[in-house]
Structure 1
Amino acid sequence: MMTTSILTTTNTIIKIPLNCNATQTCPSNYPSRFEPAISSSETCPDYFRWIQQDLKVWEEIGITRETLERAKPKAHFRLVIKSGRLYVHQYDKAYESRDVLTIWGILQLLRMYPGQVPDLELLFFCHDKPAIWKRDFRQPEPNATWPPPPLFQYCGHREAYGIVFPDWSFWGWPEVNIKEWTKLSVAIREANKRVKWNDRVPYAYWKGNSGVHPVRGNLMKCNFSDKYDPMVRLYEQDWGKEREIGFKSSNLEDQCTHRYKIYIEGRAWSVSKKYILACDSMTLLIKAKYFDFFGRSLVPLEHYWPIKSHENCGDLKFAVKWGNNNTEQAQAIGKQGSEYMMKSLEMKYVYDYMLYVLQGYGKLMKLDVTVPENATEVCSEAMACPITDGGLIRQCMDDSLIMSPSVKSACDLPRPYGDDELKRFLEKQESAERKVEKWTNEYWEVQDKILQQRK
């Protein structure tokens, strides 16, 4: 199988194979500690500043056994890290391979930073929407249950509690033939070179499953008709048909051909955000209710063009018209959004984010970390080696396997937002949204006057 060489601080070369033995047991020779030879000289991207916001609700009291166990009814699995080894107790099977690749990703973190993840227990929720809502945990109420149970999840909401964590698709989404993020981002970067912005189709593009939520169904009503051209081109994605033809028309790197790309949520946030923003196209981001771990630091008119969440057909058309009349500015917004994805979201930073979340979470634990009787030790060998018939799941694992501990330490964690600073940042985002809304309203007021004059 795969082997690698590690340069330790003593310059000794250690080979670490993916050891697929007959019993498929976890090797006992994983490095228990590894000190990176190169110290970090860079500060982590701004979205790391939100880690403290997610953990803040447990800072005062900490996470006790009783607090943790109250999250169990919502969890798909319990994950325990003890002495650098990982154990899983599965409660419920998640949709497709979400749970499998989430666990795989955490295993790669342990291979990347041996000995740096503390002993901890966590409960993970793999559905789209958050499960712990603030309305159910009002601290001032008599007999209130406080603090809320800590639950790891893929996205958050301003009215929910939860610890936002990178979603499974960073390690691939085999059911829809989406590659792991490093490999796919390289492919998208090459695609961006093939079709320059000025040569792209001067319309807004979206392709996806409109049936997952009514907001997407409403978006499809904006599509081109014989009587009206909203300057958007919307396409239904039939995944069943795609599987039959071998995913020949759904490669994401082949979809960077329009000047503008639309992001819209599904049931909650959508993993498509990073792929859309990476395309060099100006992203028209329909206002979202949910947030992933990296999107909270995106700024309207800097990384994307904001679109209202309702009555957005006219907003989309104006955005395209504005972009085609202000090509340098539109191209700059698209480029800045793309560079944010390519540079601030490279997998080294994703792992650094995971590391700091788990370190911060571990410090809050006020309990003895124990491995449940029904838990199973899991390692890269135990997950990958039994898959001997190839297939996309094994391909995702092979492509994303961490081959050696990082010789470079994690980026330097920036200080968290102070209350006033966070308020100013949110006001900056809202101010940009209001500016675009004003431009849009003024444009359509002029169009209405022209129409009335013609009558």
Structure 2
Amino acid sequence: MMTTSILTSRNTNMYPLNCNTTETCPVNYPRRFEPATISSSETCPDYFRWIQQDLKVWEETGITRETLERAKPNAHFRLVIKSGRLYVDQYEKAYESRDVLTIWGILQLLRMYPGQVPDLELLFFCHDKPVIWRRDFGQAAEPNATWPPPPLFQYCGHREAYGIVFPDWSFWGWPEVNIKEWTKLSVAIREANKRVKWKDRVPYAYWKGNSKVCRKRGNFMKCNISDKYDPMVRLYEQDWEKERHIGFKSSSLEDQCTHRYKIYIEGRAWSVSKKYILACDSMTLLIKAQYYDFFARSMVPLEHYWPIKSHDNCGDLKFAVEWGNNNTDKAQTIGRQGSEYMMKSLEMKYVYDYMLYVLQGYGKLMKLDVTVPQNASEVCSETMACPITDGGLIRQCMDDSLVMSPRVKVACDLPPPYGNDELNNFYEKQDSAERTVEKWSNEYWEIQNKTLGQRKYV
């Protein structure tokens, strides 16, 4: 059991892992902690405004036991927080270490903000695509469809789906592909950005990844080749099996910030690569996405990235590089602003604050007695990390991301949610920027076709 002691910010201690012989949860970590200040001196980044947007569907009805249990068929695990202790009932093993590091991340949240996460039960889905679709619960749904939709936590969302978007596992590392936890990796990328200044970088667009995960990426690879002119993109296949065999010698993310432009394209759904690509100081050419993660919804085209339409986009990619090389100051500014968004607005303190506010808002919707299932096991940092004694990458990710003590400052101040008119205006601002860029690209290719007598490259 955990101690009932209450710490203040004046007597904060460090709490490293206590790997005793029984591998049980230690009793010395504080159950509650009183920060030094009552209110924060900073407002959370704008993407926090979407939290209420994700939760509003359950505002009127709340979340009852019956509503919650309807999410179970799609869940990989049930997570229960009660009196500051965490319990997990695993239904299905997720791919690689997604579930492990997601649970680890929530444990670190409890260590950072002891006593501030309410009692709750949630169900978590670890695959890529959302599964609770609006069409199944709207006016055109089946007559026997039950309202409200079941609440399901997941890594990404879609405008036509319901779900509670939550930070993905890779913020605490992706050991299977040798990717460090986000704080350590973002520092490495920041240092890499200093080594190669933007105007000294290769004046082409770069992408490296697994093109076999979806047809969209397979078609995208065709942009690499043209028998008429240089397409100005450099696309490379990532063979993860080969990388594992050679010790990941050619897949270091911080070594890939060498081109003026980097391309983001979705995989099966959203891709965790977005934050790594945007962090590079290169102008990101973002192929229009269907799915979104928790932090990207407040990003603005031509401010944080250059928008590329989702289909027939090879010519648009070439035009974007041409435009950037002819407008180097503007292109560099877009790249820098996208990178600053990642480095400043996505610091791990904000990731944890986002998690805190999501769980607090979700907990307020609970209209059920929070119960620990019979098959659930209590989990803490010690029970997860201490049994891993082989010195592997999973344990390294855990050690690197361990929260050593409660945070002495309160969370950032939550900004108000979007009103309907404000949200529509924001969507229009994004759409308008995309239309503007598409117009520029079409005009560019009209001139090229007349000048060169060539067919538009799509």
Return the TM-score normalized by structure 2.
Answer: 0.96
The answer (yes or no) to whether the contact 2:7–2:30 under 8 Å persists in 1 is no
Change (3 A) 1:13 1:185: closer
For structure 1, which segment, 26-35 or 87-96, has the greater mean C-alpha deviation from structure 2 after superposition?
A: 26-35
Q: Distance in 2 between matches of 1:221 and 1:16?
A: 52
The one-letter code sitting in structure 2 at the alignment partner of 1:292 is D
Q: Distance in 2 between matches of 1:8 and 1:323?
A: 53
The one-letter code sitting in structure 2 at the alignment partner of 1:209 is N
Q: Determine helix, strand or coil for the equivalent of 2:371.
A: coil
- % identity of equivalent residues: 86
Find out whether 1:235 has 2:265 as its counterpart: no
Matching of residues 277-292 of structure 1 within 5 Å = 277-292=278-293
Q: Distance in 1 between matches of 2:211 and 2:244?
A: 18
User: Match of 2:310?
Assistant: 309
Q: Deviations over 1:52-93 (max 9, x none)?
A: 000010001000000000000000000000000000000000
The one-letter code sitting in structure 1 at the alignment partner of 2:249 is K
User: Match of 2:33?
Assistant: 34
Q: Deviations over 1:279-322 (max 9, x none)?
A: 00000000000000000000000000000100010000000000
User: Match of 2:248?
Assistant: 247
Return the TM-score normalized by structure 1.
Answer: 0.97
For structure 1, which segment, 315-324 or 131-140, has the greater mean C-alpha deviation from structure 2 after superposition?
A: 131-140
Q: Distance in 1 between matches of 2:191 and 2:277?
A: 15
Shift of 1:136: 1.1
The one-letter code sitting in structure 2 at the alignment partner of 1:421 is E
The one-letter code sitting in structure 2 at the alignment partner of 1:277 is L
Q: Deviations over 1:313-350 (max 9, x none)?
A: 00000000000000000000000000000000000000
Change (3 A) 1:13 1:321: closer
Q: Deviations over 1:373-422 (max 9, x none)?
A: 00000000000000011010000000000011000110000000000000
The answer (yes or no) to whether the contact 2:13–2:405 under 8 Å persists in 1 is no
The one-letter code sitting in structure 2 at the alignment partner of 1:302 is E
Q: Distance in 1 between matches of 2:136 and 2:323?
A: 44
User: Match of 1:54?
Assistant: 54
Shift of 1:7: 11
The one-letter code sitting in structure 1 at the alignment partner of 2:340 is E
Matching of residues 416-435 of structure 1 within 5 Å = 416-435=417-436
User: Match of 2:84?
Assistant: 84
Shift of 1:199: 0.2
Q: Determine helix, strand or coil for the equivalent of 2:150.
A: coil
Q: Deviations over 1:194-242 (max 9, x none)?
A: 0000000000000000000011001100004564310000000000000
The answer (yes or no) to whether the contact 2:9–2:36 under 8 Å persists in 1 is no
The one-letter code sitting in structure 1 at the alignment partner of 2:28 is N
Matching of residues 19-168 of structure 1 within 5 Å = 19-38=18-37, 39-138=39-138, 142-168=143-169
The answer (yes or no) to whether the contact 1:40–1:408 under 8 Å persists in 2 is yes
Q: Distance in 1 between matches of 2:116 and 2:239?
A: 43
Find out whether 1:18 has 2:22 as its counterpart: no
The answer (yes or no) to whether the contact 1:78–1:123 under 8 Å persists in 2 is yes
**Count of residue pairs brought into register by the alignment:** 449
Q: Determine helix, strand or coil for the equivalent of 1:261.
A: strand
The one-letter code sitting in structure 1 at the alignment partner of 2:343 is M
The answer (yes or no) to whether the contact 1:7–1:14 under 8 Å persists in 2 is no
For structure 1, which segment, 98-107 or 13-22, has the greater mean C-alpha deviation from structure 2 after superposition?
A: 13-22
Shift of 1:40: 1.3
Q: Deviations over 1:147-193 (max 9, x none)?
A: 00000000000111000000000000000000000000000000000
